[in-house]
Amino acid sequence: MKKTFPIMAMALVILMLFSSFAFASSRLETIKARGKLIAGVKDAVVPFGYVDAKTNQLVGFDVDICRYIAKRLGVKLELKPVTSATRIPMLTQGSVDLVAATMTHKFSRDDVIDFSITYFMDGQKILVKKGSGIKSVADLAGKKVGTAKGSTSEKNIKKAQPKCIVLSFEGYPQAFLALRQGKVAAVTTDSTILLGLKNSAPNPDDYEIVGDYISAEPYGIGLPENDSDFRDFVNRCLADMWNSGEYKKIYNKWFGPQTKFHLPLTWKMEIWPY
């Protein structure tokens, strides 16, 4: 009797390895077969991702970036709200295909997900009530500072001012509400997010963004770990968007001179040669 079991077992192992490889590299095919790109975006961070009061639809800069990628794929776009705390778990669990959610590219995050090239550049500052006497992080010693749970801002402010008391909220709107109610002395995160909070308030002039940048915040699109085909596709989309002028068009829509969130485009996307 021939001993076929070892041969069959080896064949089974090879088949399993091949299947695993095929599954791992099939994100683009999965999206195209599904007919839609599922993107994780913020739903309460003006102007990156928020619910428009008039249409009750998710809109914003990050939303338009995702819409461009979906169009390039030839599929529909489905948006799923994420927070700073849930965006990475939702990506690793497969609930979303990618995350465009004001997420800073950090080496520590590279341990569990991949990132696109930088598609937005910002820096962290602090938002306070006008006339508070707070002009920099040095003035926050012994004071309560609000930020979002699971964000880089949460860690950065602790390093920048170890003597402050950090209160972490579910999102930045909740932190800003605490500032308006006098429960915290400042809110800290990226300057554009602070600008969105300030200008969304009933009386924007009651607040001011102060101090030097605490840190640089290069935003990347969060992508599944070890899927180079999908990552390359997203990077090409971003590069083509920049080269064609579409990026500037989207940028000016949300951050141009005619908006409430004017932020001059002073940086250039890193474009690799074709």
Contact 39, 100 (CB under 8 A): yes
Check whether residue 98 and residue 136 sit in a common domain. Answer: no
The backbone torsions φ and ψ at residue 107, rounded to the nearest 5 degrees and listed phi first, read -60, -35
Q: Is the pLDDT of residue 51 over 90?
A: yes
Q: Is the pLDDT of residue 237 over 90?
A: yes
Check whether residue 83 and residue 98 sit in a common domain. Answer: yes
Mean pLDDT (whole number) for 50-71: 97
pLDDT tens-digit map of 163-197: 999 999 999 999 999 999 999 999 999 999 999 99
Check whether residue 67 and residue 88 sit in a common domain. Answer: yes
Check whether residue 133 and residue 96 sit in a common domain. Answer: no
For the record, the structure tokens of 214 come out as 């605490």
Contact 94, 80 (CB under 8 A): no
Check whether residue 163 and residue 207 sit in a common domain. Answer: yes
Position 1 in a domain = no
Given this model, what pLDDT does residue 272 score?
84
The pTM of this model reads: 0.81
Mean pLDDT (whole number) for 88-96: 97
Torsion of CA 137, 140, 145, 148, to 10 degrees: 20
Check whether residue 128 and residue 198 sit in a common domain. Answer: yes
DSSP 76: E
Check whether residue 213 and residue 179 sit in a common domain. Answer: yes
Q: Is the pLDDT of residue 14 over 60?
A: no
Check whether residue 194 and residue 227 sit in a common domain. Answer: no
Mean pLDDT (whole number) for 241-256: 97
Query: How many domains is the chain partitioned into structurally?
Result: 2
pLDDT band at 8; cut points 50, 70, 90: low
Check whether residue 73 and residue 127 sit in a common domain. Answer: no
* CB-CB neighbours of 165 under 10 Å: 15
For the record, the structure tokens of 129 come out as 């009530």
Check whether residue 195 and residue 127 sit in a common domain. Answer: yes
Check whether residue 45 and residue 114 sit in a common domain. Answer: yes
Mean pLDDT (whole number) for 103-125: 94
CATH of the domain at 43: 3.40.190.10
* Preceding peptide of 264 cis, ω within 30°: no
Check whether residue 74 and residue 191 sit in a common domain. Answer: no
Given this model, what pLDDT does residue 150 score?
87
Domain with 190, as residue range(s), is 123-217
Q: Is the pLDDT of residue 98 over 80?
A: yes
